[in-house]
C-alpha cells in the first residue's frame, strides 16, 4: 500500500547520508514536508540542493547528542511548520572497539548519539505530536541490538536501548494516537559500513540468506510504510530489514 | 499575551484569584499531571517558548513557574 503523506510534516535526524537520506527522499516523494537533520549545516544544505524534491525539504542542522541543540531545533521546527507528524531517528555512529579498548569517550559518544539523542528527540516529538492528535515515530536500531556482535558492545548496548525505549514509549503514548516502532537493519552499504575489509564483508554476505548486503533504498520503504496510515494499527514493533541475516 | 494568572486559571480551570505564588502542584485536585501538561502547552503558546523536561519537572508551584519563565527572559 503506497503511503500518501501530503500535508504531513516529518523530521529525519541523520538525513544527510546513507539510510537517513534514502528515508528523506522516500517521505518527500510521498508528499511529506521533510526537515533534514545532521550535524553539519553545509552537508544538510548540500543534500537538499542535490535532491529532486528540494522544494519539500527544509534544513534543520543540529547535534542530537546536545540536549540544548535538540530543544532549539524542535522549537524552530514548531515555529516554521506548526506541527510534527513523523519523526525518524536515523542519526547514529558506529566505531568498532573491543571491550578493553572502549574508551570512556567512545562509550559516551556512542550512547549520547545513538541512545540519549533518540530519547531526547522522542521527548520533544511526543509533545508536538500530542498537540496534533497523533503521529508516528520510527527509530533506527540494528540487528546488533538484537543478537550482538563482537567489538560492538557499546553500540549494541545503545541499539538494544533503542529497542527498550521504543516498546515502552509505544505503550505510554499510544493513547495519544502516537505510534512508535523500530527498524533493525542488517548490513547496509553506507559510509558506516564502507570500512569493512573485503574478507570480512565476504564472510558477512555468506550469513545473509538473500545473498547480498542491503542498500539504503532497501530500508526506506519499510520506514515509509510505518510512517503512513497503512500502519495505523502497528506500534511497539521491532522489524528487521536484513535479508535474513544470521550474525 | 495573557498574564501568568490567566494562563494558570484557564489551564487548570480554577478561579484566577486562587492563583497565588504558594499554590503547589498536586496540592489541589485541579492541578494533576494531566492538567500540568495542559499548563505546559499553554505556557509555551502564550510566551512563545519551549520548555524542556527539567523545566516541566521543576514547575512545582506558581512561584517556581515564574522563576522558570524568568530564565527565558519573561517577567510574568
Ligand atoms: N549501515 C548499516 O549497516 C546499519 C545497520 C544497522 C543499523 N544502522 C543504523 O541506521 C542509522 C543510519 O545509519 P547509516 O548507515 O545511514 O549511517 P551513516 O551513513 O554513517 O550516516 C549517519 C548520519 O547520522 C548523522 N549523525 C551522526 N552523528 C550525529 C549527531 N550527533 N547528530 C546529528 N546527526 C548525526 C550523520 O550526519 P553528520 O555526520 O553530518 O552529522 C549522517 O547523516 C544509524 O542509526 C545506524 O546505527 C545502520
Distance from CA of A98 to the nearest CA of B (A): 35
Q: Is A233 exposed, middle or buried (0-12, 13-18, 19+ CB in 10 A)?
A: exposed
A100 membership: H or E segment, kind and range: none
B50 to chain A: which residues are within 8 Å by CB? 71, 74-75, 78, 124
Quick one: three-class SS letters along chain B? CCCHHHHHHHHHCCCHHHCCCCCECCCCCCCCHHHHHHHHHHHHHHHCCCCCHHHHHHCCEHHHHHHHHHHCCCCC
Assess whether A233 carries a catalytic annotation: no
> With b meaning 16 or more CB within 10 Å and e meaning fewer, what string describes A88-120?
bbbbbbbeebeeeebeeebeebbbbbbbbbbbb
Mutation site, A62, A69, A73, A75, interface B, largest B CB count within 10 A: A75
Q: Which of A99, A216, A118, A129 is nearest to A168 (CA)?
A: A118
A123 to chain B: which residues are within 8 Å by CB? 53
Q: How far apart are CA A103 and CA A247, in angstroms?
A: 25
Distance from CA of B48 to the nearest CA of A (A): 9
Q: Does A75 contact B53 at a Cβ distance shorter than 8 Å?
A: no
CA–centroid distance, B21 to ligand 1, in Å, is 47
Asked if residue A16 lies in contact with residue A216, where contact means CB atoms within 8 angstroms, the answer is no
Q: How far apart are CA B76 and CA B65, in angstroms?
A: 9
pLDDT at position A112 is 98
Cross-chain CB nearest to B52 (options A71, A78, A130): A71
Asked if residue A192 lies in contact with residue A94, where contact means CB atoms within 8 angstroms, the answer is yes
ipTM of the complex: 0.87
Strands A86-89 and A135-140 come out as parallel
Residues lower than pLDDT 70 in chain A: 1
CA–centroid distance, A114 to ligand 1, in Å, is 9
Strands A9-13 and A33-36 come out as parallel
pLDDT at position A89 is 99
Helix axes B33-47 and A117-132, enclosed angle (nearest 10): 90
Mean per-residue pLDDT of chain B: 96
Structural domain boundaries in chain A: 9-238
Cell matching residue A153: 558492545
CATH architecture of the domain B4-71 equals Orthogonal Bundle (1.10)
pLDDT at position A247 is 83
pTM exceeding 0.80:
yes
Q: What fold is seen in the domain A9-238?
A: Rossmann fold (3.40.50)
Q: How far apart are CA A27 and CA A38, in angstroms?
A: 17
CA–centroid distance, A102 to ligand 1, in Å, is 19
Any B CB within 8 A of A123 CB:
yes
pLDDT at position B44 is 95
pLDDT at position A1 is 52
User: Where does ligand 1 bind, in terms of residues with CB under 6 Å?
Assistant: A 13-14, 16-20, 37-40, 43, 63-65, 90-94, 113, 140, 142, 185, 187-188, 190-193
Q: Does A74 contact B50 at a Cβ distance shorter than 8 Å?
A: yes
Amino acid at each position: 500500500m503506497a503511503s500518501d503523506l501530503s500535508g504531513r510534516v516529518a523530521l529525519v535526524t541523520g538525513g544527510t547520508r546513507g539510510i537517513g537520506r534514502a528515508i528523506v527522499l522516500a517521505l518527500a516523494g510521498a508528499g511529506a514536508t521533510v526537515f533534514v537533520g545532521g550535524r553539519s549545516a553545509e552537508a544538510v544544505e548540500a543534500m537538499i540542493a542535490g535532491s529532486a524534491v528540494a522544494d519539500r525539504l527544509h534544513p534543520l542542522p543540529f547535534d542530537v547528542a546536545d540536549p540544548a541543540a535538540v530543544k532549539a531545533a524542535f522549537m524552530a521546527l514548531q515555529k516554521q511548520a506548526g506541527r510534527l507528524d513523523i519523526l525518524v531517528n536515523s542519526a547514529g555512529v558506529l566505531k568498532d572497539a573491543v571491550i578493553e579498548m572502549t574508551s570512556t569517550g567512545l562509550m559516551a559518544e556512542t550512547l549520547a548519539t545513538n541512545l540519549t539523542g533518540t530519547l531526547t528527540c522522542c521527548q520533544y516529538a511526543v509533545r508536538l505530536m500530542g498537540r496534533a492528535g497523533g503521529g508516528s515515530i520510527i527509530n533506527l536500531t540494528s540487528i546488533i541490538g538484537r543478537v550482538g556482535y563482537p567489538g560492538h558492545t557499546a553500540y549494541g548496548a545503545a541499539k538494544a536501548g533503542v529497542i527498550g525505549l521504543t516498546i515502552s514509549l509505544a505503550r505510554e503514548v499510544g493513547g495519544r494516537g502516537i505510534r512508535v516502532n523500530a527498524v533493525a537493519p542488517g548490513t547496509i552499504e553506507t559510509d558506516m559500513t564502507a570500512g569493512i575489509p573485503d574478507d570480512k564483508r565476504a564472510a558477512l554476505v555468506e550469513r545473509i540468506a538473500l545473498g547480498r548486503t542491503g542498500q539504503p533504498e532497501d530500508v526506506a520503504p519499510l520506514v515509509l510504510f510505518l510512517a503512513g496510515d497503512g500502519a495505523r494499527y502497528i506500534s511497539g514493533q521491532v522489524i528487521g530489514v536484513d535479508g535474513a541475516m544470521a550474525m | 499575551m495573557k498574564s501568568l494568572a490567566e494562563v494558570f486559571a484557564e489551564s487548570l480551570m480554577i478561579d484566577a484569584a486562587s492563583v497565588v505564588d504558594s499554590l503547589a502542584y498536586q496540592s489541589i485536585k485541579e492541578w494533576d499531571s494531566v492538567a500540568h501538561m495542559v499548563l505546559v502547552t499553554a505556557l509555551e503558546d502564550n510566551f512563545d517558548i519551549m520548555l524542556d523536561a527539567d523545566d516541566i519537572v521543576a514547575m512545582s508551584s506558581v512561584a517556581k513557574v515564574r522563576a522558570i519563565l524568568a530564565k527565558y527572559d519573561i517577567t510574568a
